[in-house]
Amino acid sequence: MTEGTPGSACWFDGLDPGDTEGAATAIRKGEAAESRAWPERAVDADFAADEAEYYDLLHDATMAATRAAVREAETADDKQLIHAIRAMDDCERVANELAERVAEWAGSRYEDAGTGVSYARELAAEETDGPLVSLAGRVRDLDDEAADLRAHVERTAPEVAPNLSALAGPVLASRLIALAGGLKQLARKPSGTVQVLGAEEALFAHLRGHAPSPKHGVIYTHEAVKGTHPENRGSAARALAGKLTIAARVDHYSGELKPELEAELAERIERIQARDTA
């Protein structure tokens, strides 16, 4: 049990039985060197009338402690970044899907109908009423919202993960954090896992024997991988994943910016890409 503090102190020392918040704080911050007869001690200290009441109070305190821990985790900077990047991706995805619908609908009415979000924006600017123009306006609004969210991600990511953002760029850094479930979780992953984050379907197909092992996941969008000849992309992806893993660990455990990581990655990728022309 982790009730109390080192020595003989109990988590309920000095607490009123009705002080659930204080009890939750004591539960979260306290620890005990060894288990003791806590219910009996609670009764002797007049904290609880009997063992049943002690466990009722303990239940309330631990539930409050858990809720507080969840609130802290959800309001953490990296969690807020995850919400932002996912919202941005959702806006972009829905905008593109609706833009296809706008193009298909407009194609049935106009001979010179265009395609894509840019055409939907043009259509939304027309001074006419009707459901098609209204739908095009929804596409424009979603595209604007995605742009605002992207700007927010680009401002916030370097504050949350400075080294990861410097190496991967704010958007890719945010996607890696989101795929891992948080900066802490990303920092604890081996580089081989970081390399294939976002390629889970291909990885599972490989494990079932239906496909080759994926060389990379979302890090493919990084110029170090995308700009390397296909024959050498595996090496580039491994090199990039290795540095990104180190960057995530530095960001999580110290937060100190280390420009040498970027220089080391650039040197390594340059050597790999030199094979393309050899």
pLDDT digits (tens, 9 = 90+) for 113-137: 999 999 999 999 987 889 999 999 9
Average pLDDT over residues 163-188: 96
- Asked whether 256 and 164 are in contact (CB, 8 A), the reply is no
Residue 245 has pLDDT above 90, yes or no: yes
pTM of the model: 0.74
- Which CATH code, of 3.10.20.30, 1.20.1250.20, 1.10.246.90, 1.10.3480.10, is assigned to 161-278? 1.10.246.90
Residue 73's pLDDT band (cuts 50, 70, 90): low
Q: What was the pLDDT predicted at 235? A: 93
Residue 54's pLDDT band (cuts 50, 70, 90): confident
The domain limits of the chain are 20-75, 77-160, 161-278
- Asked whether 179 and 218 are in contact (CB, 8 A), the reply is yes
- Asked whether 124 and 139 are in contact (CB, 8 A), the reply is yes
Average pLDDT over residues 84-99: 98
Compute the residue count for the chain: 278
Q: Which residue has the higher pLDDT, 21 or 249?
A: 249
Mean pLDDT over the full length of the chain = 87
Residue 11's pLDDT band (cuts 50, 70, 90): confident
Q: Which residue has the higher pLDDT, 208 or 91?
A: 91
Residue 75 has pLDDT above 80, yes or no: no
As a whole number of angstroms, the distance between CA 178 and CA 79 comes to 8
Residue 278 has pLDDT above 60, yes or no: no
Q: How many CB atoms lie within 10 A of CB 39?
A: 17
- Asked whether 139 and 102 are in contact (CB, 8 A), the reply is yes
As a whole number of angstroms, the distance between CA 32 and CA 24 comes to 15
Q: What was the pLDDT predicted at 5? A: 41
Q: What was the pLDDT predicted at 24? A: 77
Residue 207's pLDDT band (cuts 50, 70, 90): low
DSSP 205-254: HHHTTSSPPPS-SGGGGSHHHHTS-GGGHHHHHHHHHHHHHHHHHHHHHT
Name the residue type at position 108: S
